[in-house]
Amino acid sequence: MNRFYVTTPIYYVNDVPHIGHAYTTIAADVLARHHRQLGEEVFFLTGTDEHGNPAARAARKRGITPMEHANEMVVKFKELVKRVNATNDFFIRTTDPEHILAVQLFIQQLYDKGDIYLKSYSGLYCSSCEAFYSEKELVAGKCPDHGTVPETVEEENYFFRLSAYQQQLLDYYDSHSDFVRPATRFNEARSFIEQGLEDISISRATLEWGIPVPWDESQVVYVWVDALLNYITALRYAKKDEDLVPKFWPADYHLMAKDILKFHAVIWPALLMASGYELPRHLFVHGYLLLGGQKMSKTRGNVLDPFEIINRYGVDPFRFYCFREVAFGQDGVISVEGFESRYNSELANDLGNLVSRTVAMIAKYNQALVPQPPAGSEDFSEEVQRLAADTVKALEEVDLTTCLERIWQFVRSLNKYVEESAPWKLAKEDAGRNQLNNVLYNLVEGLRISAILLHPFMPTATCEILRRLGHASDISALARANAVWGGAKAGARVESDVPLFPKLAT
Ligand code: ME8
């Protein structure tokens, strides 16, 4: 059986979750659901990154301990996962004792091997990024991401010999041209490596909120090393009594936005090479959701609350909008107006209305039973075959937007088909009966297949579509293998109901 392992970044708990977190989590969920539909064994991991300065600072401001703060925040992140209807198999917290122990074991091995050494160091540190910057990386003396002036930090730290892995990394990039997707991000990462890598500090002496370095408890492990390791440590203890590393490592996809590309595309592979693990098969780097032309960020305070949007419009429309509005992989502006307009034109009209009309016509012209199409009549089998292949290919490349657009072309063509074949006219002609049955069957079948293909994006609405069309919506009915023409059962009873996506007053 094929296996598929997908991850989101683990999110910082210094503030509440926002739409950017929901976005990556939903994308990972779309992939996880799709691969389950393909019949694969899937592991989908998300979680929280709880150590480090920003989280400790947030706790201090609130007059509570970092652990108390993390315990409160994690509830909100877990709630977000639930509200976006994500089917993660595990939720890792970097404060889990099993994770802590696994991180200590990992870096102890690197230390024993000679890949970690002690050195005094002075550098420019952005504590919001938890990263050092060189002068040339700053923009007008400020952090390129946070717009704040970095502090000069001077301490004795443990360093990882990143520079020793430069050639091995370049060789890996050159022999794995799809390691980082999209290609622009691959080029960016490769050229960063090519420009020369310096050893990096992997411990902090001034931080107390972190994992103690096992051979020197006066230091804690650098939060990024602690965080990146989650992708492996989680597999070690997610399932009681089974180590899932042999089964699921290497990961198929790590999803993230471009803000954390360097950590995943340079430091993470080097750490894995140093310790003898295989590298993840792909990183997929999506763009930023922008509000009013700026990246949403907690520091800037321009965040959209995903809970509010979901409460107001429902989770499926939100999931749909995320990938329909902004090409996945690029930056894009989102807005309430844009959301409402797409909701009305595509969900209420193109899809919802098509379901209502199809069910209503079958109720009116065929006692609510899916008709038997006459033998040898025209169908959309070839089109559906192409559509199924195109959508699998798009999702293989994590091109969620192309996948949706391809499905939408088909939904639009079904709407056109209703207009052109005018079942209401056929119903009035005695000679039109066979043709009417054929049209109604084609609509049910086209919608059944659309629902299967759309399922990873809109899990609830698509099951509801299948139910209204008189079909089962369990896991076996949803299998991608069923997205072939002819599965709709003649004689199944359709059900009228309230609109699937009630039109919004704009
Ligand atoms: O970086 N648009 O955590 P984080 C799209 N703990 N995606 C966005 C976004 C936006 N405006 N804002 C955030 C961290 N994201 C580390 C990760 S992983 C080993 C450690 C998403 O809470 C996107 O996936 O800052 C981005 O990479 C991630 O949230 C950053 O989350």
pLDDT tens profile 309-340:
899 899 999 999 999 999 999 999 998 888 99
- C-alpha 132/C-alpha 181 separation (Å) is 26
Distance 270 CA to ligand 1 centre (A): 21
**pLDDT in the model for residue 29:** 98
For residue 294, the number of C-alpha atoms closer than 13 Å in the C-beta half-sphere is: 13
Q: Token match 């408890």: residue?
A: 217
Number of neighbours of residue 385 by Cβ within 10 angstroms: 13
Phi, psi values for residue 379, rounded to 5°: -145, -175
Q: What is the mean pLDDT of residues 381-386?
A: 98
Q: Specify the length of the chain in residues.
A: 506
Give 116-154 pLDDT, tens digit per residue.
999 998 888 888 887 888 888 899 999 988 899 999 988
Distance 120 CA to ligand 1 centre (A): 31
Distance 241 CA to ligand 1 centre (A): 31
The two three-digit tokens of residue 494, written as one number: 């359709």
**pLDDT in the model for residue 303:** 56
- Which residues are marked as active site? 18, 21, 126, 129, 143, 146, 295, 298
- Ligand 1 atom closest to the Cα of residue 14 is 22
Contacts of 383 (CB under 8 A, 6+ apart): 410, 413
The two three-digit tokens of residue 50, written as one number: 């709880």
Phi, psi values for residue 491, rounded to 5°: 95, -15
The residue whose CA is least distant from atom 30 of ligand 1 is 11
300, pLDDT greater than 80: no
Distance 9 CA to ligand 1 centre (A): 6
| Ligand 1 pocket list (CB less than 6 A) | 9-12, 20-21, 23-24, 49, 227-228, 230, 256-257, 259-260, 288-289, 295-296
The residue whose CA is least distant from atom 29 of ligand 1 is 21
Can you list the domains of the chain with their CATH numbers?
Answer: 335-482 (1.10.730.10)
Please name the residue ranges forming H helices in 183-314.
Answer: 183-194, 223-228, 230-237, 245-248, 261-262, 268-275, 306-313
- C-alpha 90/C-alpha 111 separation (Å) is 30
Q: What is the mean pLDDT of residues 247-263?
A: 97
- Ligand 1 atom closest to the Cα of residue 228 is 19
- Ligand 1 atom closest to the Cα of residue 12 is 22
205, pLDDT greater than 90: no
Q: What is the mean pLDDT of residues 214-231?
A: 96
89, pLDDT greater than 80: yes
- Is residue 59 classed exposed, middle or buried when 0-12, 13-18 and 19+ CB atoms within 10 A define those classes? buried
Number of neighbours of residue 177 by Cβ within 10 angstroms: 11
Contacts of 495 (CB under 8 A, 6+ apart): 359, 368, 467, 468, 470
Q: What is the mean pLDDT of residues 264-289?
A: 98
Of the pLDDT bands very low, low, confident and very high (cuts 50, 70, 90), residue 191 is very high
Give 13-50 pLDDT, tens digit per residue.
998 999 999 999 999 999 999 999 999 999 999 999 99
- Ligand 1 atom closest to the Cα of residue 9 is 18
The residue whose CA is least distant from atom 10 of ligand 1 is 20
**DSSP output for 432-498:** GHHHHHHHHHHHHHHHHHHHHHHTTT-HHHHHHHHHHTT---STTTT-GGG-STT-SPTTPBP---S
Q: Mean pLDDT over all residues of the chain? A: 94
Mutate to test the pocket of ligand 1, among 13, 93, 180, 259 (most ligand atoms within 8 A of CB): 259
Q: CB of 29 within 8 A of CB of 73?
A: no
Helix or strand run (H / E) with residue 154: strand 151-160
The phi-psi region of residue 74 (left if phi > 0; otherwise alpha if psi is between -120 and 50; otherwise beta) is alpha
**pLDDT in the model for residue 62:** 94
Q: What is the pTM of this model?
A: 0.94
CA torsion sign, 189 to 190 to 192 to 197?
A: positive
- As a 3-state breakdown, the chain gives helix, strand, coil percent values, each rounded to 5, of 50, 15, 35
Q: What is the 3-state secondary structure (H, E, C) of 59-71?
A: HHHCCCCHHHHHH
Give 40-83 pLDDT, tens digit per residue.
999 999 999 999 988 999 999 999 999 999 999 999 999 999 99
- C-alpha 478/C-alpha 454 separation (Å) is 10
**pLDDT in the model for residue 506:** 73
The two three-digit tokens of residue 27, written as one number: 């994308």
- Could you give the 3-state DSSP secondary structure of residue 325? helix
**pLDDT in the model for residue 127:** 82
Distance 14 CA to ligand 1 centre (A): 12
